[in-house]
Structure formats: C-alpha cells, structure tokens
Structure 1
C-alpha cells in the first residue's frame, strides 16, 4: 500500500535527502540530523535533534519515530519517547529525542541517520462502559503472569 504525504524541507535541512526506504521491503524510512555543526551526546544525556522536515499526514495515519538498531547495539543510542508519534494534525518540525545509554560520548553529525519513521494507519476507539468484562484464561494476571520461558 502506498500513501502520498506532503513534506516541507526547512532551510536548515536543505541539501539533505528526503526520508527514503533503504530496501524495497523496509518498513521505516531513515531520518537524518539537520544540524549545522556536530553535537556531542555524552553518556546519560538526552537532546532534541531537528530533522529539518515538516509533514502533513492524511487523516487516519500516524508516523512512528523509532530507534535505529545499529546505533542502539553499537553505541547505546536510543530514543527516549519510543515509538514517538506524529499525529495527522501536527504541522511542526519533526524532532528526534535521542539519549546516550552507552559508556562513551557519541558525536552526531549533519546528515547522520538518527531514527527511522514508519507510516501506519491509526484507528481511533470509542468506549462502551460496562460493569464487567468477558473472562479469559489469563484473567487479571499481570506482569510475568504468562511465565518467563516458552514451556511455562
């Protein structure tokens, strides 16, 4: 399925490629850092990195902002709010809230791949109040109630 999305590239993002899929079956498009000078992200710190992009999603869609697995594994870099949600009615710049959970300072440079964006349909729910819920085999079992191993 393909959906057309309007996109604006802001002045600080000029010259950077628009988000693209790395392979024909990729779910996410890479987002790039639209910064002028390199930024140091020291262990334990977090910061908002601009992408230089604004989008207009069609009604009924969201954009999910997710970490890059390579950055997480190799450097301990992830996103604080993950997945981050870009709502269909948001028109501001897309920013990526990055955090360094690694042991070394990480340098973010202009054009670096900092996150991926997945476009997904979004369903809105309505509530139906009731006095009881149907029963299931799990019932009210909470965290860990289904066990730790496959055979439990």
Structure 2
C-alpha cells in the first residue's frame, strides 16, 4: 500500500470507457470523490437503473470503497442509490456500476454522459474473526432494536 505525505492512499483506476474521468474531489477535504455516468438515460418516476461509470479500481488490501448518493441530486431530483452505501471490496476488479432510483412520483430525471451520479468514499476496514458463544455480555442498550430510543412524534 502506498500513500503520500497527506496520508492519501493510492487507488489505481482503469478507464474501461475512455470518456470516464478519474474520480475527483470537488473541494479540498471532501470525503467523497465524484463518480459520473458514461451513458445517457432517463429515469422515469419510481424507476431504477444500474448505471455505468466506465471505471474499475484496485484498492489496497484492508480498504473498501463505499458509494453514496449525491445530496444535491437527491434534494433536487429525488435520485438516490438503491443499496446505499454500495460496497466495492478491495478484490473487485470489474466496472463500478451504480444502481440509481428516481423517488419522484411525477417527474422523470434525464442524466447525460458526464453527469455526477454518486460519491465514492475510500475507507480502511477491519476484518473480523467470528466466534460462536452461548451468550453475549450485557450492554446499556441491551436488545432494544428498531425505534427503541424514540426520537420522533409517531409512536406505536
């Protein structure tokens, strides 16, 4: 694994489609690098599509890439990622594809080649050793699951 003086990890990128730019951070310090589409498409209301980015990456062992929705695209057009965050494992060498969904009920969304469609966050990840046990240690939360901490007006 190689990194520069800023601590940035090197990620090798293969352009499967020559129109695909390298992932790029919009501003210094941003967590997510923008990914773009290399195809034109229209997402009808409620529709989903798996969209090509035209790139494949080689992540160092111990890292993963997580694909997140672009907040502006979600706020303005209702476009989100179906499986957010999408996970790209270090060993995957195929094209990164992003499954988008238009959550708007009335308006189609037109995307053109070169439009930014997702953000890719590179993170160091730990591997785990899973061990079966007869019981788990106690914790403050215990077995409280979905909605157990409240925080909203709708209660039931």
Query: After TM superposition, is the score higher than 0.5?
Result: yes
Compute the displacement of 1:128 (Å).
Answer: 2.3
Shift of 1:137: 2.3
- Within a 5 Å distance, the mapping from 1:34-73 to structure 2 comes to 34-35=38-39, 38-73=40-75
2:110 alignment partner, one of 107, 111, 134 = 107
Distance, in Å, in 2 between the alignment partners of 1:146 and 1:10 is: 46
Count of aligned residue pairs for this structure pair: 145
2:8 is the counterpart of 1:6 = no
> CA shift at 1:144, angstroms?
1.5
Partners of 1:19 and 1:137 in 2: how far apart? Answer: 42
Shift of 1:129: 2.0
**Structure 2: unaligned runs, 5 residues or longer:** 1-6
Partner Cα separation in structure 2 for residue 48 and residue 3 of structure 1: 28
Q: Moved runs in structure 1, 4+ residues, more than 4 A?
A: none
Indicate if the aligned counterparts of 2:20 and 2:55 stay in contact, CA closer than 8 A: no
What stretches of structure 1 of length at least 5 have no aligned partner?
Answer: none
Instruction: Calculate the aligned-residue CA RMSD, in Å.
Output: 1.2
Query: Within 5 A, what are the aligned runs for 1:69-148?
Result: 69-102=71-104, 103-148=106-151
TM-score (norm 1): 0.91
Determine if contact 2:20/2:53 at 8 Å carries over to the other structure: no
Deviation of 1:16 after TM superposition, in Å, equals: 3.9
- Does residue 17 (structure 1) correspond to residue 9 (structure 2)? The answer is no
TM-score by length of 2: 0.88
